Amino acid sequence: MVSRRPARGLAGVARVPGDKSISHRALMLGALALGESRITGLLEGEDVLRTAAAMRALGAAVTREGDGDWRVAGRGVGGIVEPEDVLDMGNSGTAARLLAGILASHPIFSVLTGDASLRRRPMRRVMTPLAASGATFSARAGGRMPLAIAGTGTALPIAYRLPVASAQVKSAILLAGLNARGITRVEEPVATRDHSENMLRHFGASVSVGDDGEGRVIELAGLPELRCADITVPGDPSSAAFPLVAALLVPDSAITLPGIGLNPLRTGLFATLEEMGAGIVIENRRISGGEPVGDLSVRHAALRGVDVPAARAPSMIDEYPILAVAAACARGTTRLRGLAELRVKESDRLAATAALLAGNGVRAAIEDDDLIIHGAGAPPPGGGMVATGMDHRIAMSALVLGLASLAPVAIDDARFIETSFPGFAGLMNGLGATMAPA
């Protein structure tokens, strides 16, 4: 696919797909609750559809009734059944790691696998804490999938301090704790996205959050009777980042993105862009399903380079590639600090982001775990062919760069965009972008 500068600014109103993190969790907790839950606005990307298929394989009745409208008839905590076949999670690390938590504390045998990209990603980070529940794991060298899990029927509650900030590891432990007698405790030195805590409460679990002076402490009371609950999934802020940054970079642009999730542990990108000079207007703030939501409006703006602290990384871990594109068009140097976690995403996302920029005439360098970008305050040269490495966020970021560059930017494979943002090119073209098959 190739992207080039449009003849005029981007304009209009666009609804981005539902939040991927919340969509995964809605399906999983709906399957563990008693009764029928209705989900509205579910992301229907390939990643979430893999989760839906997995919950069906575990015995829940998961039914699609229309665009984004789904029903889940759950089996209750402890009620899932052993799957008859391998559970293929496609490209979704979130689905695989969270599901490992559920499977670990149920007395069933299961095998998780995924596509070539997911099979390269480390699973030991969840295997190590989950083994304390009594489950046993077998994996390839380095803790990589396929992953065989022999769950336990007498799960022990886990007490674990996260060595690195990871909402996926935290969530896997909490989900395992649902079917364990006693209190499951997770300590995180840096707060990560709390969708699991919010949704567990929404389904009736007892979850407390405190501070022990060294970080955040989350405690879950095991063996709750989760009750069915309806959920409206907000627009994904990670997906909203792409049209939002495109509007900032393309002259004469003005767009509105309604119904975007504004969880404060997910809005690091918005805060950073405002520091760079963006004017992001948020209207109609409201709470939906325990999550803050609002309508975003943004116009073209001249951006300046900033120094982004490492402490902000957990609140914007998926947005660094598109932030790097914004920095490439800004005036001055931007330093993105503490990006070690990007090395174990769908690709080595840190190296891939630096290569994306360098291949399109932008000066960028990696120093330890920092990415340094030298913006010229003008359209980048562009003209490159970006190797996406099966990474949907690298692909979309490159296409946005093409909208702001002097020469078109091409990507080698657009198929993986469907994992998180189905209809991405169509939505962008509806705002006035120019993206088409190469």
Residues identified as active-site? 318
Structure tokens at 141: 């060298």
**95-106 core/surface letters (b: 16 or more CB in 10 A; e: else):** bbbbbbbbbbbb
Structure tokens at 421: 């943002």
Pairing of strands 307-308, 363-367: unpaired
Q: What are the two backbone dihedrals, phi and then psi, of residue 302, each rounded to the nearest 5 degrees?
A: -80, 125
Cα–Cα distance measured from residue 289 to residue 304, given in angstroms and rounded to the nearest whole number: 36
Angle 268-275/237-249 helices, nearest 10 degrees? 20
